[in-house]
Amino acid sequence: MQSPAEYRRYAEECKRLAQQALPEHRATLLEIAKAWIACAEEVERTGKKGKDKAGASAAASDIE
């Protein structure tokens, strides 16, 4: 799991892309941005940065 700041950066990137996107794609990008904000808020609310729902370290999931 990422930090709230990183999720918010993803949201801002989606918003930036939406400004440049074709009209038929803007709504989708803005919905994705909302989802990233919800992720940031969830991490802030639960304080579970670095843990998955089972409580295990999320380090392996960060490998891309």
pTM over 0.85: no
Q: What are the residue ranges of helices labelled H in 1-64?
A: 4-20, 23-46
Q: With a cut of 80, say whether residue 27 has pLDDT above it.
A: yes
Residue 61 falls inside a structural domain: no
The pLDDT score that the predictor gives to residue 48 is 73
Would you say residue 24 has pLDDT above 60? yes
Q: How many domains does the chain divide into?
A: 1
Q: Which domain holds residue 24?
A: 4-53
pLDDT of residue 16: 98
Question: Residue 63: inside a domain, yes or no?
Answer: no
Considering the domain boundaries, does residue 40 fall inside one? yes
> Would you say residue 32 lies in a domain?
yes
Predicted local distance difference test score (pLDDT) of residue 49: 59
Q: Cα separation of 34 and 42, whole Å? A: 12
The number of beta carbons lying within 10 Å of the beta carbon of residue 36 is 21
